[in-house]
Amino acid sequence: MAHRWKNDLTDADVTPMGAYLSRREVMAGVAGLGLASMAAPVRAAGLSPNSWEEITSYNNYYEFGTGKEDPARNAGSLTTKPWTVKIDGMVDKPGDYSFDQIMQAMTVEKRIYRFRCVEAWSMVIPWNGFELADLLKMAGVQSGAKYVAFETLYRPEEMPGLRYPVLDWPYVEGLRLDEAMHPLTIMATGLYGKPLPNQNGAPLRLVVPWKYGFKSIKSIVRISLTSKQPPTSWNKANGREYGFYSNVNPKVDHPRWSQASERAIGGGLFAKRQDTLMFNGYDEVAGLYAGMDLSKFY
Ligand code: MTE
């Protein structure tokens, strides 16, 4: 009997993040494979990236609808040129940085990462991007800063999903400063060597491969350095189900489903579920959480 339900879990057993929200709406109205950096270990031998088609047609981007195919269908309306990112708070050089200005200053590399959604599906994604640390260093992080807050564009004319009170818009996320500065944390600007498609968070989005996908906030317009832990969208929507840390952890289940295993997108209907790895396989981040009870800080 032990854990039978974990192994037999099917998609039907996993309630998407949106399910409880749809009810509310009704009521209301890879591992570092191919990393350029020497420090990044190659641990994903045998892992092949998902196809362009899979990565760009099965998405979560609630500003464009809550269905997995809605973002690909609706995000074409998003204007990403010009694009400005406001960097403010506890930095030496606050200001409005244009996307072009950022791209000129940053070194873009290829990073093939595992991507694990809290809904228990996963992909392997060949991102192009730069280290968030480099952007933060450019802005000059001040000594009292302890957290980084991120904000997605709020533009109702182009984002049909904003009409629905699914989340408290705009979508916001946050990291502890040491998590933000970790070399695995990137700002992605492309996929398969092409500019990031709108449904994946164009023109630039966060990717934190050892955390559940919802931390990887899309289409970022503001980055603020703060001394206090910033509010985050899913935590505000349901703090019991979604914590601030949201590290991938097979031992800490979501209150409504197991996190012990995952369904690899593209594996086919009869593919065996894969075991979920602690920190999504990125063990080198373990030191960031030394001494913390990760079932409490989930
Ligand atoms: N960012 C914004 N602004 N809005 C969203 O709805 N969804 C998150 C995250 N970033 C989301 C977001 C969730 S739940 C996941 S799993 C990933 O984006 C999905 O990224 P992908 O569509 O590129 O796979």
Instruction: Mean pLDDT check: name the lowest of 147-156, 228-237, 265-274.
Output: 265-274
Choice between 36 and 272, residue whose per-residue pLDDT is larger: 272
The helix (H) or strand (E) run that includes residue 148 is strand 147-152
Res 6 pLDDT > 50: no
What's the first-to-final CA gap in the chain, in angstroms? 27
Mean pLDDT of 218-244: 98
Q: What does the pLDDT read at residue 15? A: 52
Confidence of residue 283 (pLDDT cuts 50, 70, 90): very high
Among protein residues, the one whose CA lies closest to atom 24 of ligand 1: 59
- Distance (angstroms) between ligand 1 centre and the Cα of 34 equals 24
SS3 content of the chain, % helix, strand, coil (to 5): 30, 25, 50
Res 267 pLDDT > 70: yes
Pairing of strands 121-131, 109-116: antiparallel
Q: What does the pLDDT read at residue 17? A: 66
Report the residue among 216, 219, 220 best suited for mutation to probe ligand 1: largest number of ligand atoms under 8 A from its CB.
216
Report the residue among 117, 121, 214, 280 best suited for mutation to probe ligand 1: largest number of ligand atoms under 8 A from its CB.
214
Confidence of residue 41 (pLDDT cuts 50, 70, 90): very low
Instruction: Mean pLDDT check: name the lowest of 29-33, 109-113, 214-218.
Output: 29-33
Share of the chain above pLDDT 90, in %: 82
Instruction: Mean pLDDT check: name the lowest of 23-37, 49-63, 179-193, 232-246.
Output: 23-37
Res 189 pLDDT > 60: yes
- Distance (angstroms) between ligand 1 centre and the Cα of 214 equals 5
Inter-residue contact 205 to 188 (CB < 8 Å) = yes
Choice between 126 and 22, residue whose per-residue pLDDT is larger: 126
Identity of residue 153: L
Confidence of residue 27 (pLDDT cuts 50, 70, 90): very low
* Residues framing ligand 1 (Cβ under 6 A): 17, 59-63, 117, 152, 171, 200-201, 213-214, 216-218
Q: What does the pLDDT read at residue 7? A: 33
Q: What does the pLDDT read at residue 94? A: 98
- Distance (angstroms) between ligand 1 centre and the Cα of 2 equals 33
Q: What does the pLDDT read at residue 255? A: 96
The rounded radius of gyration (Å) of the Cα atoms in the chain is 18
- Distance (angstroms) between ligand 1 centre and the Cα of 57 equals 13
Share of the chain above pLDDT 70, in %: 85
Confidence of residue 268 (pLDDT cuts 50, 70, 90): confident
- Distance (angstroms) between ligand 1 centre and the Cα of 92 equals 30
Res 135 pLDDT > 80: yes
Q: What does the pLDDT read at residue 47? A: 74
Tokens 């929200």 belong to which residue?
Answer: 21
Confidence of residue 270 (pLDDT cuts 50, 70, 90): confident
Instruction: Mean pLDDT check: name the lowest of 29-33, 60-64, 116-120, 143-147.
Output: 29-33
Domains of the chain: 11-289 (3.90.420.10)
Helices (H), the chain: 4-7, 17-28, 52-57, 70-74, 99-105, 132-139, 177-181, 233-237
User: Which tokens go with 144?
Assistant: 């009292």
Rounded to whole angstroms, how far apart are CA atoms 259 and 180?
Answer: 24
Res 141 pLDDT > 70: yes
